[in-house]
């Protein structure tokens, strides 16, 4: 056992909670072609942050525990073939930029356990901002998956940085 708890939808698949650029089905399916959206989901008690240091020096999405009342991160619950897990781990920088976590997310019908990625503490910088292309993927995923309008507006309002910054 490698110490990672991988909740499974079936014997050959696992559940993944995407809250950043992987909410965009085009982006995620380029990485994991088997990905099937099970719909929007929320992660209560967490806040969305853009402070994870990306390989390009810009801010990427992260989830951060929050005790503020009503704090929720919205995202998309996907079912993915287990044979594609290592590829997603590599793309996401598992063990380098992100750690894997098991979370309990709420869909419209049920609570499910899923894996997600959370920034490693040494990769957090609150002064970071996302590049426009990255923010566009997050916004596209939020819109295509019907996340709440106020949540989509908050994503749209995030200040990005020019590529030259």
Domain ranges of the chain: 13-157
| pLDDT value, residue 6 | 45
For residues 105-126, give the mean pLDDT.
96
| pLDDT value, residue 42 | 98
Residue 9's pLDDT band (cuts 50, 70, 90): low
Burial of 165 (0-12, 13-18, 19+ CB in 10 A): exposed
pLDDT digits (tens, 9 = 90+) for 18-74: 999 999 999 999 999 999 999 999 999 999 999 999 999 999 999 999 999 999 999
Residue 109's pLDDT band (cuts 50, 70, 90): confident
In angstroms, the Cα distances linking 98 to 12, 60, 74, 102, 123 are 24, 11, 19, 13, 8
In the predicted structure, residue 165 carries a pLDDT above the cut 80: no
- Hunting for tokens 């309008």 — which residue is that? 149
In the predicted structure, residue 135 carries a pLDDT above the cut 50: yes
Right CATH for 13-157 from 3.40.1390.10, 3.10.490.10, 3.90.870.10, 3.30.70.20: 3.10.490.10
């Amino acid at each position: 056992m490698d110490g990672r708890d991988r909740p499974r939808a079936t014997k050959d698949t696992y559940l993944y909670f995407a809250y950043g650029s992987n909410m965009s089905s085009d982006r995620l399916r380029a990485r994991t072609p088997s990905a099937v959206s099970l719909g929007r989901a929320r992660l209560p008690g967490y806040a969305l942050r853009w402070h994870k240091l990306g390989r390009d020096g810009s801010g990427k999405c992260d989830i951060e525990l929050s005790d503020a009342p009503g704090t929720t991160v919205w995202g998309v619950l996907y079912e993915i073939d287990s044979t594609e897990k290592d590829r997603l781990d590599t793309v996401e920088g598992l063990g380098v930029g992100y750690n894997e976590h098991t979370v309990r997310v709420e869909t419209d019908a049920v609570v499910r356990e899923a894996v997600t990625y959370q920034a490693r503490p040494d990769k957090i910088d609150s002064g970071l901002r996302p590049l426009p292309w990255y923010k566009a993927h997050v916004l596209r995923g939020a819109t295509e998956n019907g996340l709440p309008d106020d949540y989509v507006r908050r994503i749209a309002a995030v200040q990005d940085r020019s590529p030259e910054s």
